[in-house]
Amino acid sequence: MLVLGIETSCDETGIALYDGKQNKIIFECLYSQANKHSLYGGVVPELAARDHVNKFLPLLKKGFKDSGLSLKAIDAIAYTKGPGLRGPLMVGASFAKSLGFALNKPVIAVHHMEAHLLMAKYDAPNLSYPFLTLLVSGGHTILAKVDKSGSYKILGQTIDDAVGEAFDKTAKMLGLKYPGGPEIEKRSIQGKCMDYNFPRPIINSDDYNFSFSGLKTAVLYKVNSLKKKEKLSEELISNVCYEFQNAAIDCLLHKTKKALKDFHLNQVVLSGGVAANKELRRRFSEELGIGYSSIYPDFSHCTDNGAMIAFTGFEKFNLSKEDNRIFVNPRWSLEEIANG
Amino acid sequence: MSNFKNILAIETSGLFCSVALRSGEEIKYNFTEKENEHGLVILDFIDDLLKRFNLEKNELDLIAVSNGPGSFTGLRVGCSVAQALAFANDIPLIPLSSLAVLAHQAHSKFDMKNIFVITNAHMKELYIGSYQFENEQIKILEKECLISQEDLSNYVDINSTETLYVGNGITFLENIVDKNAYKNIFSHASNMFKLIDLAIEQKSYVAAEEVSPNYLSGEEQWQKAK
């Protein structure tokens, strides 16, 4: 069974074809608009939506041409219905529903974050339920317990900025380009441990929540005070990156360990764009402790992509069939998967 | 006439979604008076029209879409739906100016030769376009563009009896003579076929991926706002 996956929730147009019978991705095409948005220091929703319209058909054509398959060979279409940016989501929804309509194929609505976490099952087939998941991206920081596919209990989440957002904003303060996450990661390698004493907000709270806005503000004050004394050198920038990244990872790691212990789970799946951070992966692998393991999707599947939508669409095939109405759910909660 | 027997027309540039299907000489249409419901109704509208003509989806020969200027979201829904249907059926598309569609509609209704269209682009801006209809042809007198409300008076001659001003943007015209202005006119897909026939004559149909919304406001808007 061939499922076409369509992802347009933010600034990447992702299209992929997944063969459920063979558990194989036939093709995946991705167009990232990051360069366009780097001019503005963040995603401009209207421009993102515009670009999705322009890139969609050329990407779709390329995928089918390269794979030698015909569009008519597909059995279903899955698309990201939310959460995400309304304008960009509407473009993917319009194409998905119209293709389904024209080809008389079922259309399946996929939850973007569920797709991120389920994709780990594709890249790590031995993963077994239940497990803990840490979803970390520019829009989300969620710690959830996964009992089975479709059944998620959110244990905690950020009470202010998402961790990826904190990375992006910190990078902006330091004059680094958008998206800031990969830039900070790169700079940190050259960075040294300083005594900046960046806070680890609410790290010892008796819950599973996160907070990154205080950390971001502390970085801002530090950068401003450093700037007063001297020009912000490459070395200083790297040190700030190092200290910031360390603080952010400490918060994620600490709450993850607490949740694993409290809920008697021994595996955690990390996904979302921030899960591509190598230092994050290294520290989770080394510091979770004996008996605990951390699992990640491939680097290419951490950031937004069509393959995870196609894969999740196949998993959901028997559960969700959509009618002809084109609408999206920009604030769809992971706990309300059934009410998309 | 043409080889295109079954032609679908999509109009989503304004507040109201309308879709029309012409099979041979006969035109049927669907239209909603609910604002900004393009996405919710468009595919069911198309489905209903095909059923009323007893046609299968793959029997469509051509799709025309009014690709702007107008509501950004509406344009994207209309263009995406048109592109997907055209691509899946391997048929061509015709993009039509939403202002020209409105002008033609006014020309048919009021039998005036010169039509000046003004629609509200919000944020104190207006879309304008000026057209002349003669010998079954349409001529563009004033290139479609986005202007600020303040500049409108530079483009119009309110005393003209030759020109009819139409569109929801004419409320911004001060002292307009009532008889040459008409605001309550909204683009409707069923009125697109005359322009579609002209486009077919000129062979100005294109492949699905060549059509995109014509926003008339480019990225410089966001660069200014930066």
Chain A positions in Cβ-Cβ contact with residue B83 (cut-off 8 Å):
53, 56-57, 95, 98
The span from the CA of B57 to the CA of A104, in Å, is 9
pLDDT tier at A231 (50, 70, 90 boundaries)? confident
Do B80 and A71 make contact, defined as CB atoms within 8 angstroms? no
pLDDT tier at B204 (50, 70, 90 boundaries)? very high
Do A57 and B47 make contact, defined as CB atoms within 8 angstroms? no
| Helix pair angle (A234-262, A180-190), 10° resolution | 110
B103-118: pLDDT as tens digits: 999 999 999 999 999 9
Same domain assignment for residues B118 and B191: no
Q: What is the pLDDT of residue B178?
A: 64
- Nearest-CA distance from B111 to chain A in Å? 37
The span from the CA of B70 to the CA of B209, in Å, is 20
Chain B positions in Cβ-Cβ contact with residue A47 (cut-off 8 Å):
219, 222
Residue indicated by tokens 């002209």: B198
- Nearest-CA distance from A313 to chain B in Å? 20
Q: What is the pLDDT of residue B176?
A: 62
Share of chain A above pLDDT 90, in %: 87
Q: Is residue B225 part of a domain?
A: no
Contact B195, B100 (CB under 8 A): yes
pLDDT tier at A4 (50, 70, 90 boundaries)? very high
Share of chain A above pLDDT 70, in %: 100
Is the overall model pTM greater than 0.90, yes or no?
yes
Same domain assignment for residues B34 and B143: no
Query: Quick one: CA dihedral B184, B98, B132, B147, positive or negative?
Result: positive
pLDDT tier at B157 (50, 70, 90 boundaries)? confident
Same domain assignment for residues B106 and B79: no
- Nearest-CA distance from A54 to chain B in Å? 7
Same domain assignment for residues B84 and B33: yes
Same domain assignment for residues B192 and B89: yes
Q: Above 60 in pLDDT, residue A235?
A: yes
Contact A96, A107 (CB under 8 A): yes
Chain B positions in Cβ-Cβ contact with residue A44 (cut-off 8 Å):
222
* Residues near A121 by beta carbon (within 8 Å), at least 6 away in sequence: A127, A311
Of A44, A93, A324, the CB nearest to B47: A324
The span from the CA of A311 to the CA of A19, in Å, is 8
Greater model confidence, B176 or A217:
A217
Which residue of A324, A327, A328, A329 is the best one to mutate when testing the B interface, meaning the one whose CB has the most B CBs within 10 A?
Answer: A324
Chain A positions in Cβ-Cβ contact with residue B40 (cut-off 8 Å):
325-327
Q: Is residue B222 part of a domain?
A: no
Peptide bond into A83 cis (omega under 30): yes
Same domain assignment for residues B88 and B171: no
Instruction: For residue B123, give its domain range.
Output: 98-182
Same domain assignment for residues B62 and B91: yes
Q: Is residue B133 part of a domain?
A: yes
Same domain assignment for residues B88 and B193: yes
- Nearest-CA distance from A193 to chain B in Å? 35
CATH code of B209's domain: 3.30.420.40
Residue indicated by tokens 């680890």: A200
pLDDT tier at B142 (50, 70, 90 boundaries)? confident
Same domain assignment for residues B171 and B161: yes
- Nearest-CA distance from B124 to chain A in Å? 19
Do A46 and B72 make contact, defined as CB atoms within 8 angstroms? yes
Structure tokens at B60: 């469509």
Q: Above 70 in pLDDT, residue A7?
A: yes
B19-35: pLDDT as tens digits: 999 999 999 999 999 99
Q: Which residues pair with A234 in a beta bridge?
A: none
Q: What is the DSSP letter of B181?
A: E
Q: Is residue B156 part of a domain?
A: yes
Q: What is the pLDDT of residue B225?
A: 56
Domain total for chain B?
A: 2
Do B87 and A71 make contact, defined as CB atoms within 8 angstroms? yes
Chain B positions in Cβ-Cβ contact with residue A98 (cut-off 8 Å):
43, 80-81, 83-85, 88
A44-87: pLDDT as tens digits: 999 999 999 999 999 999 999 999 999 999 999 999 999 999 99
Same domain assignment for residues B88 and B197: yes
Same domain assignment for residues B103 and B91: no
Q: Above 60 in pLDDT, residue B1?
A: no
Contact B163, B146 (CB under 8 A): no
Decide: helix, strand or coil at residue A142.
Answer: strand
Chain A positions in Cβ-Cβ contact with residue B79 (cut-off 8 Å):
53
The span from the CA of B113 to the CA of B133, in Å, is 5
Q: Is residue B26 part of a domain?
A: yes
Q: How many CA atoms lie within 13 A of B208 on its CB side?
A: 26
A32 interface with B at CB cutoff 8 Å: no
The span from the CA of A227 to the CA of B159, in Å, is 63
Structure tokens at A312: 């999740």
The CA distances from residue B94 to A55, A64, B86, in Å, are 19, 24, 10
A162-207: pLDDT as tens digits: 999 999 999 999 999 888 999 999 999 999 999 899 999 999 999 9
Q: Across chain A, what does the average pLDDT equal? A: 95
Do A98 and B80 make contact, defined as CB atoms within 8 angstroms? yes
Q: Which residues of A305-332 are buried (b: 16+ CB within 10 A; e: fewer)?
A: bbbbbbbbbbbbbeebebebebbbbeeb
- Nearest-CA distance from B36 to chain A in Å? 12
Do B212 and A53 make contact, defined as CB atoms within 8 angstroms? yes
Q: Is residue B132 part of a domain?
A: yes
| Helix pair angle (A234-262, A163-173), 10° resolution | 170
Do B76 and A91 make contact, defined as CB atoms within 8 angstroms? yes
Q: What is the pLDDT of residue A337?
A: 84
Same domain assignment for residues B147 and B192: no
Q: Is residue B226 part of a domain?
A: no
Contact A57, A332 (CB under 8 A): no
B198-216 mean pLDDT:
95
- CA of A41: which chain B residue's CA is closest? B226
The span from the CA of B212 to the CA of A10, in Å, is 19
Q: Above 90 in pLDDT, residue A304?
A: yes
The span from the CA of B34 to the CA of A38, in Å, is 38
Within B135-177, strands assigned E span 137-148, 163-166
Structure tokens at A126: 């031995």
The span from the CA of A170 to the CA of A244, in Å, is 8
The contact set of B with A (CB < 8 A) is 38-44, 46-47, 57-58, 72-73, 76-77, 79-81, 83-85, 87-89, 208-209, 212-213, 215, 219, 222-223, 226
